[in-house]
Each structure stands twice: as C-alpha cells, then as structure tokens.
C-alpha cells in the first residue's frame, strides 16, 4: 500500500511534541552514562595503580578486567545513545518543517476557497456560496417544518451613478452598501452579492412574515444613510423583493425568481419592498 503524504504530515504534527520529550529524556540518560563512564575510568585508574604496587592477586585482576569491560560497555552505550539522539534531533527538525509546510498549505487552501466563494469587490459571499447555503436551509426547513425567506435587493438608479461619476465611485458605493448589509445581518442569515448592484439575503430563522418585514425595513433605513464618497454625499435607495418558503416556492431557483419579480414590483411602486404574490408595502 502506498504511503499517504498527507497522513505523514498529520502524524508529524501530532508526534513532534512526544519526540521532543523523548529527546530530552535521552539526553538526560546520555549525561548519566557519561558520568558513569568517567567515574568507572577514575576508579579503574586507582585500581590499576593499587594493583601495580601490590602482589598480583588473581581475584583482583579479574575484578579489574570486569570493571574495565563495564567501562567500555558504558562508553559504547553512551556513544550509541549520542547517535540515536542525533537521529531524533533530525526527526524533530523534519517534523517541525512538515508542520510548517502543512500550516502553509492549509492557509493557501483556505485563501483559495475564500476567493472561490466570495465576491472580490465587497468580500460578501458570492452567488455560489449563497445557493449552497440556501439549498442547505431548504433541506433543514423541509425536515423540521420551518419557514425561511429570500430577499432580492437592487439599488435604485445605480446605473446613473456609474454613468455620471464613474465606476470607481460606483464600486465605493457597492462596498459601503455591502458593509451596511453585513452590519445588519443576523448570525445565522446570509447576505451575498448576486452581481452588479444586486444583493441576496437569506433569512433562515423566522416565525412569520413580520420577521421579514422588520429585516427589510432595517436594511432600507441603513442603506439610505448618505454615503460619503470622493464626490461628496450620495443617497442610495434600495428596492427589495421578498419570497417565503414554502408559499412562494420550494426550490432555490423558484424562491430567487419570486423574490426578483417582487423586487421589480417594489421598484415600480417605489414602495421600498414587496412580497411575492402580494401587494407592495406602503411607501417609506
């Protein structure tokens, strides 16, 4: 079976800490062995001197030989442990390097994924991410009998801003609007840039139509605050269409289309927002 390089990276990050601990313990043992070897060498020198000055007793000679043999083995063990420790140090360095490489790869993956799923101008989720969350929301709503809403928002007369003041001013307006939408988005909801000056809002946790009304009015109020751009102040007015699941559709495509149609109804009547299949709200 082929080795999995990713598995090796993961194992490396998990094992780096224990290896450091093993290396530290081995260094301690190595120091003890070296101390023991030095002490044995010192004892053996004394014994050799004593042995040279006395009659050569066989028992003493045998003891000295054994002691010198132990000294050699202790020194050999210390040398082998040094080799092992060097290998451990190399392994720790390699694992730290792999850990760093893995962190870099993860950052690059996250950055690539973010770019793929977010609008480059506003930083909002793009159409693909919005549709994914809407599909997930529909599954949950169907399973639990929940209600959710899709809001389709368009900025009134935005083309005039681009034509009169240039795309730089238009882009600045879109960024300001996006920031205001983010500031007025609830935790479980999703707001996205659908394209151009169109935005989509997914309202997932609602008990009745009034919840959507409150959010729509809050968004309109926030966006209509004058925008400070390079040419001075601009007042932007949005039009919002609202579709409700399951009343106005049971698929992501149907709900988005219903909300889009309702948005044009709100734009024509200058009412601010309108519900799919219903009458526009009173002008605000």
The pLDDT profile of the chain, 284 residues, written as one tens digit per residue, is 445 544 444 444 444 557 667 666 666 666 666 766 666 666 666 666 666 655 555 555 666 666 667 767 777 777 777 777 777 777 778 878 888 888 888 888 888 888 889 999 999 999 999 999 999 999 999 999 999 999 999 999 999 999 999 999 999 999 999 999 999 888 889 999 999 999 999 999 888 889 999 999 999 999 999 999 999 999 999 999 999 999 999 999 999 999 999 999 999 999 999 999 875 564 43
- What pLDDT sits at residue 28? 64
Report the b/e string of 118-153 with b at 16+ CB within 10 A.
bbeebebbbbebbbebbeebbeebeeeebbbbbbbb
Neighbours of 191 (CB within 10 A): 23
- What pLDDT sits at residue 223? 96
Which residues lie closer than 8 Å to 214 by C-beta, 6 or more apart?
A: none
pTM of the model: 0.67
Neighbours of 13 (CB within 10 A): 15
CB 46 within 8 A of CB 126: no
Neighbours of 24 (CB within 10 A): 11
Q: Residue 279 and residue 249: Cα distance in Å, rounded?
A: 18
Which residues lie closer than 8 Å to 89 by C-beta, 6 or more apart?
A: 23
Residue-wise pLDDT tens digits, 135-189: 999 999 999 999 999 999 999 999 999 999 999 999 999 999 999 999 988 888 9
Q: Residue 203 and residue 147: Cα distance in Å, rounded?
A: 9
Cα atoms in the 13 Å half-sphere on the side-chain side of 279: 3
Which residues lie closer than 8 Å to 153 by C-beta, 6 or more apart?
A: 198, 199, 200, 201, 219, 238, 239, 240, 241, 263
Q: Where are the beta strands (DSSP E) in 46-197?
A: 147-155, 190-195
Catalytic residue among 154, 197, 248, 260: 197
Tell me, yes or no, if 154 is annotated catalytic.
Answer: no
Torsion of CA 179, 183, 184, 187, to 10 degrees: 120
Task: Retrieve residue 31's tokens.
Answer: 């120091």
- What pLDDT sits at residue 109? 85
Q: Residue 258 and residue 142: Cα distance in Å, rounded?
A: 19
């Amino acid at each position: 079976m082929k080795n999995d390089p990713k598995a090796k990276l993961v194992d490396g990050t998990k094992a780096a800490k224990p290896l450091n601990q093993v290396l530290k313990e081995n260094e301690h043992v190595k120091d003890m062995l070296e101390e023991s070897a030095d002490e044995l060498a010192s004892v053996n020198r004394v014994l050799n001197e004593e042995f040279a000055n006395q009659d050569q007793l066989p028992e003493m000679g045998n003891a000295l030989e054994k002691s010198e043999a132990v000294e050699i083995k202790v020194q050999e063990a210390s040398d082998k442990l040094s080799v092992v420790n060097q290998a451990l140090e190399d392994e720790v360095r390699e694992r730290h390097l792999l850990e760093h490489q893995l962190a870099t790869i993860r950052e690059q993956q996250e950055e690539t994924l973010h770019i793929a799923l977010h609008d480059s101008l506003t930083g909002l989720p793009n159409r693909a991410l919005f549709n994914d969350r809407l599909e997930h929301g529909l599954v949950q709503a169907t399973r639990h009998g929940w209600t959710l809403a899709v809001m389709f928002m368009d900025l009134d007369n935005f083309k005039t801003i681009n034509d009169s003041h240039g795309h730089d001013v238009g882009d600045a307006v879109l960024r300001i609007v996006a920031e205001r939408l983010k500031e007025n988005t609830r935790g479980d909801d999703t707001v996205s840039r659908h394209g151009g000056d169109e935005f989509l809002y997914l309202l997932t946790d609602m008990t009745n139509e009034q919840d959507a009304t409150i959010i729509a009015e809050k968004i309109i109020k926030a966006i209509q605050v004058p925008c400070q751009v390079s040419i001075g102040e601009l007042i932007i007015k949005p039009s919002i269409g609202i579709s409700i699941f399951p009343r106005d559709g049971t698929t992501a495509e149907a709900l988005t289309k219903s909300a889009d149609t309702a948005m044009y109804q709100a734009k024509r009547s200058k009412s601010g927002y309108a519900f799919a299949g219903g009458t526009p709200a009173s002008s605000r």
